[in-house]
Amino acid sequence: MDNTRSNTYGWVIVAISTLALVIGNGLSIGGLPPFYKPIREEFVAIGAIDAPRAESFIATGANITFLASGVFSLLGGWLLTFIRVRALMILGCVLLGAGLIIHSIAYGASTVYFARFLMGASLGFVGVAPNVYLISKWFGEKRGTALGIALTGTSIGGVIIPLVAAPLIAAYGWRTAMWEISLVVWLVLLPCVLFFIRESEAPTEADVALQTAQDGLLSAIKKPVFWLFAACAALVFYPIFVTSQQFILYLQSPKIGVAASTAAFAQSALFAVSIGGKFLAGFLSDKFRSVVVMAGFAGLMFAASLVLFGLSASTALFFLLPFALGYGGTFVLLQRLASDLFGGEGLGKILGAVTMVEVAGAAIGGLITGSLADRNGGDYTNAFYGVTIASGLAFAAAVALSLMVGKQKIFK
């Protein structure tokens, strides 16, 4: 029987965490790509950036958000040993709302980068790591299902925000649209965090078992399995980040020639399908060994990425849909494995360290992709071959991880 500490309220926590990820990740990462083209065009037109560096400007902004999220996830994990998670999440809401407002009035690259820094910092306090920490403290046996449900929020935000933002941008311009969608932070997310977030006190059976086996972050980094896991996480987030942030620009490039509205729909489809992958991965990780499920979803990502070698407007969905399932699954499983393999009292710090590794892989991917696209005059064809290479290496690392920690049995 699952001793889920006030079972009912645990699911309330899942609901609020899901909302936090819908809004937090949706407004800082998943929902921003529809803004990229009008921002890029305006900043080139006013002379704020040079046209030959336009793709790198967009990639740098996204990389700053990811890197800041990693650094502040590490900081947030450390702060959780001193303060309550609710206080941390309140700070995250304030940083996110402020970042969006500052971005909406920015007329220079440095101001955009500062805004993206604030948005990334907010993710360290109200994004994936603190919410995984919160849910892991509430759930034991059904932890995978609970995490799978909550982490769909990162995809739901990527579905909803582009569909809301695109018509707002078309009607009022990107600045007004960004200011308007920032209101959801102040009027929805912040009140929900204030009134509903509550941290569980009693340990689950899973926590007790983990605490006897793990001594925290310092113990974890001494183990070879941690570094294999870290390599897998970095390699997984290279293609996840590049596809979620820059595929919309690839679709609109002259070679593919997809209209902005169609590209925004494809962006939403990517996140919509990944919702199924996240829920399915969470459910399967409660039935099978997490490392085995991880290898399966990483393999699906790699298989889908092979379509990139002959990508066209007519074949884009053959890449996008299976890749989205794989990406959603691996995203959840990395968080689940971090909790399963290295949890215990130092879980907050470990989740922060894992997030830092993930964003390092994402940042490398973003920089390489943006740079190669600039060198090829805005053509992303060669740049996206890196997605295939990274996906293949991620699959190999996931298989190696499953052999290292899951060779005894497949079923739990």
The closest of 410, 278, 251, 396 to 333, measured between CA atoms, is 278
- Residue predicted with more confidence, 269 or 20: 20
Band of the pLDDT at 368, cuts 50, 70, 90? very high
The predicted structure's pLDDT at residue 119: 97
Name every residue whose Cβ is closer than 8 Å to that of residue 364 and which is 6 or more positions away in sequence: 234, 238
Q: How confident is the model at residue 203 (pLDDT cuts 50, 70, 90)?
A: low
CATH 1.20.1250.20 fits 7-405, yes or no: yes
Q: What is the pLDDT of residue 259?
A: 84
Rounded distance, CA 155 to CA 22, Å? 7
DSSP helix, strand, coil percent of the chain (3-state; round to 5)? 80, 0, 20
Rounded CA-CA distance 106/65 in Å is 16
CA angle 68, 56, 92 (to 5 degrees): 20
Going from the C-alpha of 294 to that of each of 271, 288, 336, the distances in angstroms are 19, 10, 10
Stated pTM of the model? 0.77
Tell me the two tokens of residue 301.
Answer: 């990502």
Predicted local confidence at residue 204, as pLDDT: 55
| Cα–Cα distances in angstroms (integers) from residue 238 to residues 65, 242, 373, in the given order | 15, 6, 16
Q: Give the tens place of pLDDT for each residue, 122-176.
A: 999 999 989 999 998 888 778 888 998 999 998 898 888 888 998 999 999 999 9
User: What is the distance between the alpha carbons of residues 288 and 339, in angstroms, rounded to a whole number?
Assistant: 16
- Mean pLDDT computed over every residue of the chain: 88
Rounded to whole angstroms, what are the CA distances from 102 to 147, 170, 258? Answer: 32, 21, 31
Question: Cα(370)–Cα(54) distance, rounded to whole angstroms?
Answer: 9
Residue 288's beta-bridge partner residues?
411
Report the C-alpha gap between 332 and 325 in whole angstroms.
Answer: 11
Q: What is the mean pLDDT of residues 312-341?
A: 91
